[in-house]
Amino acid sequence: MSNSRISAVFERLKQSGHLAFMPFITAGDPDMATTVAVLKELGQRGVDLVEIGFPYSDPIADGPVIQASYTRALNKKLKVDDIFNGIKSLPTASMPPFVAMVSYALIFRRGVEHFVQQAADAGFAGLIIPDLPADEAEDVAAIAKKHGLDVVQLIAPTTPRERAEKILKASSGFVYCISIAGTTGVRDELPPELTEQLSWLRTQTKLPLAVGFGISKPDQVDHLRPVADGVIVGSAIVRQFEAIGTGKPLSDALQDIGNFAAGLVAATHK
């Protein structure tokens, strides 16, 4: 086990018997000032980690809600440097760890070393690169390690066990377990095979298992409690940003997002 900031969070939660709650937000939707304000709000509401999505023009793993948020941000000419500068303005050491969710297209363009350096300087604790399969991730992981960043790998319902074993070896911080074959987005039900897969993964690794894709409700958290160490909620939160762009006052939006997050903090920390 590494002694990263992410590992420390999961270690602390494990001792109190809690799950980690990890909201996802899109950077720069509708602008970085909002993102910074929302991150402060989420920190105050007691979330455990935050996943910060870097808008990308061609996000094939994402469903309509997150894709639309990326388009909103890019239409306002958001740049990668704007994201790093915004995050850097926060007291990240005293906040929940931030994990960048970013396409390899953006990382490669900047240069892996340069991107990772900037992410570390801005205060990120880890990277999730949804279009960089474990088979291709060795170089990135080595560079990230040098800069103290975890690289979280994903396991899908379609991942065969032999492949999962390789992915577990390549992952650090935690393992992102995709609940459903498909893109991100809110779903009513989680598939029964998920429990079976999580139980098997538990026998294969000491890394925390965080479940994402399709999760939005506290009762889904109860269902996952026996088999997972954390839950990731994306589209249900990102959806709440749509209204800010169309005139909802930021203070109201912060209150609503904060209340929504508090509901899931309560569900994961009981």
Partner 1 sequence: MSTMTTSGTATSHVPDALGRFGEFGRRFVPETLMHALEELTAEYARAQQDPEFHRELNGLLTTFVGRPNPLYFAERLTEYCGGARIYLKREDLNHTGAHKINNTLGQVLLTRRMGKKRVIAETGAGQHGVATAVACARFGFDCVVYMGEEDVRRQKLNVFNMRMMGAEVRPVTSGSRTLRDAINEAMRDWMGSVSNTHYIIGSVVGPHPFPMMVRDFQSVIGREARQQCLDATGRLPDEVIACVGGGSNSAGMFYPFVDDASVALTGVEAGGRGPTPGQHASTLSHGVKGVLHGSYSYVLQDEDGQTADVHSISAGLDYPGVGPEHSYWKDSGRANYVAITDDEALAAFQTMAKLEGILPALESSHAIAHTFKAAKARKKDDIIVTCLSGRGDKDVYEIARLLGKELG
State which of positions 107-146 bind partner 1 (CB under 8 A): 107-110, 130-136
Buried b (16+ CB within 10 A) or exposed e, 81-108: ebbbebbeebebeebbbbbbbbbbebbe
Backbone angles phi, psi at 111, to 5 degrees: 100, 130
Q: Does the protein bind partner 1 through residue 261 (CB under 8 A)?
A: no
* Pairing status of strand 175-178 against strand 20-26: unpaired
Residue from 48, 62, 150, 229 carrying the catalytic annotation: 62
153, β-bridge pairs: 175
Question: Using CB under 8 A, which of 36, 37, 90, 106 touches partner 1?
Answer: 106
Closest contact distance (angstroms) between CB of 133 and partner 1 is 5
Cα of 229 vs its chain's centroid, Å: 14
* DSSP at 221: H
Size of the site for partner 1 (CB under 8 A): 45
Site string (226-255) toward partner 1, x via CB under 8 A: ------------------------------
Q: Does the protein bind partner 1 through residue 84 (CB under 8 A)?
A: no
Span near partner 1 by CB under 8 A; candidates 16-24, 57-65, 120-128, 215-223: 57-65
Give catalytic status of residue 51 as yes or no: yes
Closest contact distance (angstroms) between CB of 60 and partner 1 is 4
Q: Does the protein bind partner 1 through residue 194 (CB under 8 A)?
A: no
Provide CB contacts within 8 A for 1, sequence distance 6+: 7, 206, 207
User: Between residues 242 and 256, which has the closer beta carbon with respect to partner 1?
Assistant: 242
The rounded distance, in Å, linking the Cα atoms of 97 and 48 is: 7
User: Between residues 9 and 140, which has the closer beta carbon with respect to partner 1?
Assistant: 140
The rounded distance, in Å, linking the Cα atoms of 234 and 115 is: 24
- Dihedral sign, Cα of residue 39, residue 59, residue 138, residue 171: positive
Q: Does the protein bind partner 1 through residue 201 (CB under 8 A)?
A: no
Q: Give the binding site for partner 1 (CB under 8 A).
A: 56-64, 67-68, 71, 74, 79-80, 103-110, 130-136, 153-160, 163, 167, 178, 180-183
Q: Just list the catalytic residues.
A: 51, 62
